[in-house]
Amino acid sequence: MMRDWHIFCRVVDNYGDAGVGFRLAKQLANEFSIDITLWIDNLAVLAKIQPQVDPSLNRQTVFKVNISRLTPNVAPPDIFPDVIIDIFGGGLPRLWLDALARDFPAGNNIPDNEKPLWIVLEYLSAEAFVDDLHGKPSPPPNIDIPRRFFFPGFNEKSGGLLRERDLISLRDIFLQSPESRKIFFAATLGVPSLPESAMLVSVFCYDTPTLSQLFDVWNQSATPIIALIPEGVADHAINQWHGIENALRIVSIPLISQDEYDQLLWTCDLNFVRGEDSLVRAIWAGKPFVWQAYRQENKAHMSKLSAFLTRYLADAQESEKVTLTRFTLAWNAADETSPAVRWSELVGRLPALTKYAHNWQLRQSQMVDLASSLIELVRDMR
């Protein structure tokens, strides 16, 4: 078995690149005993969601992951790793490419089992092309080593979703213990006591002007609503809102570690999530969620969003399907409707959507997880 793997992660924006990179590295090191080096170019971003990481160090080991600072001039080791993973196609450093081209030039006769394997881990999507492209060869120019695409996804034809082996059981143990919830709020979030009867909503979003309109509606709710909002995430909407808190309480919470963020999602009644990794974690929470796609040029994210909604809601009753789709589209500013207008509809369907989210997650968790599919792909490439 090939034990030496290097993962390359470039932080383009936000926390998702670092979040996916570290989560994958940690799982491979801890569950598959792989010797992992994670090359990452922005340690400060990683440290925000993995506080054990010291951004001043060029090399360190955290949760069995060897973390190395990625700079444009990093050179490869004397012996290439068995497997190279290029997260989100950020590419390898110039000196690595040069050395690979020198040692494995196009048309070489070196047997494949003596070459490093290269995998390009792509973004998560429910779009149909994923099924066709997952695992397919993607030969690099001027370098003759095996390279394949790996597409995460929501069905057996794709590479699956990141899911640690004990995630679901840890979640269930946490949720069965009222003490864990209390400790979580007091010790992790620094929020002393919250009324049991209130509806807990976590809000992790991009800048969304309509959030302040949602605050207005929440403030008139028959059930008290507590909105837990990570610091810095929705400053604009919070500053813009001049309501006097009635049914709504806005609680600013610190940025917490990835494991703690999971606990937040497990605890809340409804989660607003964004990008890629928090979407996956919201799925594993088994609670209803509203997803905001990472905005791309020319609204390319809209097809991603609608493919996901179609996939996620395929087995839902018509009323749940329509309700969550409408609300999510409004939240993503896909039409002129404010999500505030759609709130009462959504809240009316929340019990059914909660059941649905639980069942969907159960089915999804029967599928092979991303790290295991990666191991399978590597075996297949040899």
For ligand TRH, the binding residues in 304-333 under the rule CB under 6 A are none
* DSSP 8-state class, residue 157: T
Spatial distance between the Cα atoms of 367 and 382, rounded to a whole number of angstroms: 24
When asked if residue 34 is in the footprint of ligand TRH (CB under 6 A), the reply is no
Min. distance of Cβ 220 from ligand TRH in angstroms?
Answer: 27
Spatial distance between the Cα atoms of 225 and 55, rounded to a whole number of angstroms: 37
Binding mask 81-120 for ligand TRH (x = CB under 6 A): ----------------------------------------
Q: Is 276 among the residues known to form the active site?
A: yes
DSSP of 241-265: --PPPSSEEEEEE----HHHHHHHH
Position of minimal CB gap to ligand TRH? 16
Looking at beta carbons only, is 17 or 144 nearer to ligand TRH?
17
Q: Is 144 helix (H, G, I), strand (E, B) or coil?
A: coil
Helix axes 301-312, 318-331, angle to 10 degrees: 160
Spatial distance between the Cα atoms of 151 and 157, rounded to a whole number of angstroms: 9
Options 261, 272, 289, 343; binder of ligand TRH; rule CB under 6 A: 261
Looking at beta carbons only, is 74 or 255 nearer to ligand TRH?
255
Q: Is 122 among the residues known to form the active site?
A: no
Closest C-alpha among 123, 3, 8 to residue 67: 8
Min. distance of Cβ 129 from ligand TRH in angstroms?
Answer: 17
Q: Token pair of 246, please? A: 């009635």
Options 49, 309, 316, 330; binder of ligand TRH; rule CB under 6 A: 49
Q: Token pair of 210, please? A: 């309509």
Looking at beta carbons only, is 23 or 148 nearer to ligand TRH?
23
Helix axes 16-31, 277-285, angle to 10 degrees: 60
When asked if residue 43 is in the footprint of ligand TRH (CB under 6 A), the reply is no
Closest C-alpha among 256, 258, 208 to residue 228: 256
Looking at beta carbons only, is 86 or 277 nearer to ligand TRH?
277
* Residue tagged active-site, from 82, 86, 262, 276: 276
Count other Cβ atoms within 10 Å, centred on residue 12: 12
Which spans of this chain sit near ligand TRH (rule: CB under 6 A)? 12-17, 19, 49, 123, 204, 230, 255-258, 261, 274-278, 294
Would you please indicate which residues are annotated as catalytic (active-site) residues? 17, 276
